[in-house]
Amino acid sequence: MQNVLVIDDEPDILELLDLTLTRMGLDVTTAASLTEGRRALAADGFNLCLTDMKLPDGNGLDLVDEISRDYPNLPTAVITAHGKVEDAVKALKAGAFDFVSKPVDLNDLRNLVNTALRLSKTESRPVTSPDSGEPKALEQLIGKSDAMERVRQMIKKLARSQAPVLISGASGTGKELAAKLIHELGPRSQGPFVPVNCGAIPSELMESEFFGHKRGSFTGASEDKDGLFQAANAGTLFLDEVADLPLHMQVKLLRAIQEKAIRPIGAREEVSLDVRILSATHRSLRPLVESGDFRSDLFFRLNVIELPLPSLHHRAEDIPGLAEHFLAQLQLQWESDDPFSLSDGAKKALQQHHYSGNVRELVNVLQRAMTMCDSQTIEADDLQLPDQALTTGVGAEVDIPDGENLDDFLENIERKQLEDALKASRYNKTAAAEKLGISFRSLRYKLKKYDIE
């Protein structure tokens, strides 16, 4: 039998919680103050603590802090006053597992308790690596840099909570992977993980896609359809590129998060759901809030805790290991018998390259290099990196013209250098390659790429 500690100074609520949890087959200990709660914690082991925010001898937040410090494996949920979103956010940031508002919805309470108790069940604990003792799933995050170690520790902590998380980072930094790991390492791992790109759904179809619809609710609705929220019930809904949500959907999403219920199009009643929301964006939401393009109330509900993911240039020491990992994956996909490897020069070139697309771009560079190289050892020239041809010098300032992105700017510079080298060498390709400091094969590839005759 699992033990639950309930702390509340209102006798009616304490009795209601005691009765409800006892009917769930739990052993319940009650306390009417922080002092009694602390005494119970010291005397017995618990699987869950449920505490009110306002108690006669202190604030429930103080207890959340103490439990996070002294009982790190004990999930703690808080009871907040109706409409006190600020209190709930403070509790989640302090380390609370989740919250329930007064008047207590018993269905929400049962969902919260069942999810929290799964944390302490042996079978839900993740398989660990024999080398590091870390959850094996975290091995998907390649890299030994301090930046990546911070990400791993943050993911482990976030997996034990039900707090909404906003994952931020540039394109290609692995935001969906981070969200999936938070899901897989948490108590919802047996439930569905439903990712959705908010920018890929047409605005007029968004409400139906998110909340579902009833047959006949609009032209073309020939049958009932469940939405993404229903598909993610008892699991996690990952909202990628959440900044792309139109304002009318932001209002509806906020209500769904607050009420933990949705109303399908054409339905008369709301449907209660148990869904954890994770979101991600490569754009900063604060400027959008200031400009009125993103609702501030939704921003604060989604951004209870932010998980920033580092760009490759912030962890350049991880690039060789990442490259070797992806080379091995690509070799399996291509069913190549002979392994590919990177020369020291290629590794150095990869570390010095500016990645606008981060890990996704790195994979594309390696795919191209495997195609172009003449042997199983990839050299720097095989990478065909645009900035290999730049001669502006380290630290030189370069002004990119308005309306032109970095990739186009670099390609224009490379094209001009190729043309200038050919003219200076009287169109002798061997001499032009030597002048540029690249191989003849690399020069031939670049001339074909830019259609230079």
Separation in Å, CA 230 to CA 31, 262, 269, 273: 37, 9, 14, 7
pLDDT for 106-134, tens place per residue? 998 999 999 998 876 644 455 665 565 56
The predicted-structure confidence for 177-215, as pLDDT tens digits, reads as follows 999 999 999 999 999 999 999 988 998 889 999 999 998
Same domain, 331 and 304: no
The arithmetic mean of pLDDT across residues 370-382, rounded, is 88
Question: Among 332, 354, 384, which residue terminates a domain?
Answer: 384
- Residue 395 pLDDT > 60: no
% of the chain with per-residue pLDDT over 90: 54
What is the pLDDT at residue 393? 39
Q: Give the mean pLDDT of 76-105.
A: 85
If one compares 122 and 323, the residue with the highest pLDDT of the two is 323
Tokens of 116: 């929290």
DSSP state string for 292-314:
TSS-HHHHHHH-SEEEE---GGG
Same domain, 318 and 416: no
Domain presence at residue 135: no
Answer yes or no: do 418 and 345 share one domain: no
pLDDT higher than threshold 70 for residue 406: no
Q: Has residue 141 been placed in a domain?
A: no
Domain membership of residue 27 as a residue range: 3-124
Q: How far is CA 303 from the centre of its chain?
A: 12
pLDDT at 448: 81
Q: Is residue 372 part of a domain?
A: yes
CATH number of the domain to which 204 belongs: 3.40.50.300
**Average of per-residue pLDDT values in the chain:** 87
What pLDDT shows up at residue 389? 44
390 has a pLDDT exceeding 50: no
Does 263 share its domain with 330?
no
Full-model pTM:
0.77
Residue 123: what pLDDT?
A: 41
Predicted local confidence at residue 124, as pLDDT: 46
- Residue 129 inside a domain? The answer is no
Mean pLDDT of all residues in 39-62: 92
Check if the beta carbon of residue 265 is closer than 8 Å to that of residue 211: yes
Whether residue 14 sits in one domain with residue 119: yes
Q: Is the pLDDT of residue 359 over 60?
A: yes
- Note whether 12 and 57 are same-domain residues: yes
Contact criterion met (CB below 8 Å) for 60 and 91? yes
The residue-averaged pLDDT of 242-246 equals 93
What mean pLDDT comes out for the span 356-385? Answer: 88
| Whether 247 and 361 share a structural domain | no
Tally of domains within the chain: 4
Instruction: Assess contact for 390 and 352: CB atoms under 8 A.
Output: no
Task: Please tell me whether residues 287 and 158 are part of one structural domain.
Answer: yes
Lowest mean pLDDT, pick from 16-20, 158-162, 320-324, 335-339 = 335-339
Residue 178 lies in a domain: yes
Q: Is residue 435 part of a domain?
A: yes
Same domain, 34 and 120: yes
pLDDT bucket at 392, cuts 50 / 70 / 90: very low
Residues 167 and 242 in one domain: yes
Exposed/middle/buried for residue 45 (C-beta within 10 Å: 0-12, 13-18, 19+): exposed
What pLDDT shows up at residue 38?
Answer: 95
Q: What is the CATH number of the domain that holds 373?
A: 1.10.8.60
pLDDT at 387 over 60: no
Convert 13-32 to b/e letters by CB count within 10 Å (16 or more is b): bbebbbebbeeeebebbbbb
Asked if 77 and 205 sit in the same domain, the reply is no
> Could you say which of 280, 308, 336 is where a domain stops?
308
Q: Which residue has the higher pLDDT, 436 or 110?
A: 110
Residue 83 CB neighbours (<10 A): 11
| Residue 53 domain-assigned (yes or no) | yes
Does 303 lie in the same domain as 162? yes
